[in-house]
């Protein structure tokens, strides 16, 4: 019996700037949203069920949540201090092996997330993608590391060093940043300039321990969709649900298009599988509006300065 809610997007959502027929095949993406289960075998069975459901509905790329096989262990200092048990190697660790097995079984590319072991020092929060033939297509380390109550990732992870790699998944060019990277417009712009059609964000976000009444979900969704709008990219997020060590994860996984429109969204509190067909020529249509060509990078020097640095004198 399938225990995921299936949510499918509308493939007919039009491209308002279309001036010529599509030139590319669409990409069908899937995203699996579920709660972490402390029983490892049960948790893996749930993930397998979700991936198979997405593949059965045509998904060519199937995306899983941040730290796919583990709890979100950056909630507090005690859990973060004990997180070494979740470190894994690539490609021999359990997350990469699971993605490898599912990619070969389903014929879809499978994306996942893990705590990557480093040769020395702290490890990395790393997203991977495995091709249908079992090749490791992508290994992208999270660049921006949160360091505030409830999300103490600086105690576990080193900042990523892999930059903004874009890989080919079926007909699409795809980038695989992670969670907190969602909030940085510079990152989305860098990926867009590198040619990304789609950005995938494995995610773990929910309640704020010091602001119990604050619900960041609407702001989170708006920020990601707006970054897609500013850069003509599809955005795919796979969040988790459930309660872990006092944090309530709010699900709401979604896919948005290059016009910033959410085309499919999961519920806040239930396991769900999203499936959406992406009209990749929407990126071409929107970019024909001049979004990237009319930039002024000669004026953007201040964007590379650390926060708090004085601004250069304004010359008139």
Cis peptide before 91 (omega within 30 of 0): yes
Where residue 132 falls among pLDDT bands split at 50, 70, 90?
very high
Contact predicate 82/99, CB 8 Å: no
Helix (H, G, I), strand (E, B) or coil at 291: coil
* Structure tokens given for 269: 């509190």
Query: How confident is the model at residue 32, as a pLDDT?
Result: 98
pTM greater than the 0.85 cutoff: yes
Query: How confident is the model at residue 311, as a pLDDT?
Result: 60
Spell 188-227 as b/e; 16+ CB within 10 A means b.
bbbbbeeebbbbbbbbbbbbbeeeeeeeeeeebbebbbeb
Q: Which helix (H) or strand (E) holds 175?
A: strand 172-175
Instruction: State mean pLDDT over 285-301.
Output: 94
Contact predicate 74/244, CB 8 Å: no
Query: How confident is the model at residue 313, as a pLDDT?
Result: 53
Instruction: State mean pLDDT over 81-92.
Output: 96
Query: How confident is the model at residue 314, as a pLDDT?
Result: 46
Q: 156-168, pLDDT tens digit by residue? A: 999 999 999 999 9
Query: How confident is the model at residue 307, as a pLDDT?
Result: 83
Contact predicate 17/285, CB 8 Å: yes
- Helical H runs in the chain? 40-56, 77-81, 94-106, 185-193, 217-231, 281-287
- pLDDT over 90 at 12, yes or no: no
Query: How confident is the model at residue 2, as a pLDDT?
Result: 58
Q: 46-64, pLDDT tens digit by residue? A: 999 999 999 999 999 999 9
Query: How confident is the model at residue 28, as a pLDDT?
Result: 97
Rg of the chain on CA atoms, in Å: 19
Query: So where are the chain's domains?
Result: 5-15+23-290
- pLDDT over 90 at 315, yes or no: no
Calculate what percentage of the chain has a pLDDT beyond 70: 97
Average pLDDT of the chain to the nearest whole number = 95
Helix (H, G, I), strand (E, B) or coil at 147: coil
Where residue 41 falls among pLDDT bands split at 50, 70, 90?
very high
Side-chain-facing half-sphere of 6: CA atoms under 13 Å: 17
Catalytic residue numbers, as ranges:
66, 142, 179
Instruction: State mean pLDDT over 90-115.
Output: 98
Q: Which of 37, 107, 103, 116 is nearest to 70 (CA)?
A: 37
Q: 142-191, pLDDT tens digit by residue? A: 999 999 999 999 999 999 999 999 999 999 999 999 999 999 999 999 99
- pLDDT over 70 at 1, yes or no: no
Contact predicate 166/173, CB 8 Å: yes
Query: How confident is the model at residue 316, as a pLDDT?
Result: 39
Range of lowest pLDDT (7-16, 34-43, 225-234, 291-300): 7-16
Q: Please enumerate in sequence order all residues whose Cβ is within 8 A of that of 89, keeping only pairs 6 or more positions apart, or say none.
A: 116, 117
| Burial environment of residue 260 by CB neighbours within 10 A (0 to 12, 13 to 18, 19 or more) | middle
Calculate what percentage of the chain has a pLDDT beyond 90: 92
Q: Which of these CATH numbers, 3.40.50.10860, 3.30.1330.50, 3.60.110.10, 1.10.10.10, describes 5-15+23-290?
A: 3.60.110.10
């Amino acid at each position: 019996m399938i225990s995921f809610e299936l949510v499918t997007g509308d493939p007919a959502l039009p491209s308002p700037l279309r001036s010529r027929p599509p030139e590319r095949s669409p990409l069908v993406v899937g995203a699996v949203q579920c709660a972490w289960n402390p029983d490892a075998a049960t948790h893996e069975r749930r993930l397998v069920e979700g991936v198979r459901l997405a593949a059965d509905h045509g998904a060519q790329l199937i995306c899983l949540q941040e730290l796919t096989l583990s709890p979100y262990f950056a909630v507090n200092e005690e859990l973060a201090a004990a997180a070494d048990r979740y470190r894994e190697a690539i490609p021999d660790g359990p997350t990469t092996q699971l993605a490898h097995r599912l990619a070969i079984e389903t014929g879809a590319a499978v994306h996942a997330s893990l705590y990557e072991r480093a040769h020395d020092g702290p490890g990395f929060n790393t997203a991977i993608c495995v091709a249908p033939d079992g090749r490791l297509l992508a290994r992208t380390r999270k660049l921006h590391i949160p360091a505030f109550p409830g999300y103490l990732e600086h105690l576990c992870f080193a900042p990523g060093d892999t930059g903004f790699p874009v890989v080919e998944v079926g007909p699409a060019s795809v980038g695989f940043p992670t969670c907190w990277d969602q909030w940085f417009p510079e990152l989305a712009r860098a990926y867009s300039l590198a040619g990304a059609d789609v950005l995938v964000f494995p995610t773990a976000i929910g309640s704020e321990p010091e602001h119990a009444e604050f619900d960041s979900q609407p702001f989170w969704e708006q920020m990601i969709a707006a970054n897609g709008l500013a850069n003509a990219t599809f955005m795919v997020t796979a969040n988790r649900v459930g309660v872990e060590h006092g944090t309530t994860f709010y699900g709401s996984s979604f896919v948005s298009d290059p016009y910033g429109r959410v085309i499919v969204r999961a519920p806040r509190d239930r396991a769900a599988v999203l499936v959406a067909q992406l009209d990749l020529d929407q990126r071409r249509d929107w970019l024909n509006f001049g979004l990237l060509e009319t930039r002024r990078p000669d004026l953007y020097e201040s964007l590379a300065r650390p926060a708090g640095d004085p601004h250069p004198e304004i010359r008139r």
